[in-house]
Amino acid sequence: MTNKQVGGLIVMFGAAGDLARRKLYPSLFRLYQRQLLSENFALLGNSRREWTDDYFRDIVLDSISDQEADEETINNFIKHFFYTSHDATQADDYEHLNNEMVRLRNQFNTGEKNLYYLSTSPALFPEITQGLKDAEIVTDGGTHRVILEKPFGTDLSSAKELNDALAISFDEKDIYRIDHYLGKEMVQNILATRFFNPAVEALLNQEFVSNIQITLAEDMPVGSRGGYYDKSGAIRDMLQNHILQVATLLGMDLPASPDQDDVHANKLTFLKQIDSLTAKQTVRAQYLASEDGEFINYLEENEVAPDSVTETYLAGYFQVNNDRWGQVPFYFKTGKALDDKRTTVEIVLKDAGDKTDIDKGCNPSQSRITFNIQPETGLAFNLNQKLPGEELLPTMVSINSNVDELNVAYVPDAYEKLIYDALIGDQTNFSTWDELAEQWRIVDSIIANWKNAGTKTLPTYIGKTRGPKEADELLRQNGHVWVK
Q: Write a three-state SS string for the chain.
A: CCCCCEEEEEEEECCCCHHHHHHHHHHHHHHHHCCCEEEEEEEEEEECCCCCHHHHHHHHHHHCCCCCCCHHHHHHHHCCEEEEECCCCCHHHHHHHHHHHHHHHHHHCCCCEEEEEECCCHHHHHHHHHHHHHCCCCCCCCEEEEEECCCCCCCHHHHHHHHHHHHCCCCHHHEEECCHHHHCHHHHHHHHHHHHCHHHHHHCCCCCEEEEEEEEECCCCCHHHHHHHHHHHHHHHHHHHHHHHHHHHHHCCCCCCCCHHHHHHHHHHHHHCECCCCHHHEEEEEEECCCCCCCCCHHHCCCCCCCCCCCCEEEEEECECCCCCCCCCEEEEEECCECCCEEEEEEEECCCHHHCCHHHCCCCCCCEEEEEEECCCEEEEEEEEECCCCCCCEEEEEEEEEHHHCCCCCCCCHHHHHHHHHHHCCCCCCECHHHHHHHHHHHHHHHHHHHHHCCCCCCEEECCECCCHHHHHHHHCCCCCCCC
Active site residue 242: yes
Active-site residue, selected from the candidate residues 80, 86, 180, 242 = 242
From the list 245, 241, 261, 265, the residue with the least C-alpha distance to 253 is 265
Report yes or no: 248 and 272 within 8 Å, Cβ to Cβ: no
Q: Would you say how long the chain is, in residues?
A: 484
The residues assigned a catalytic role are: 242
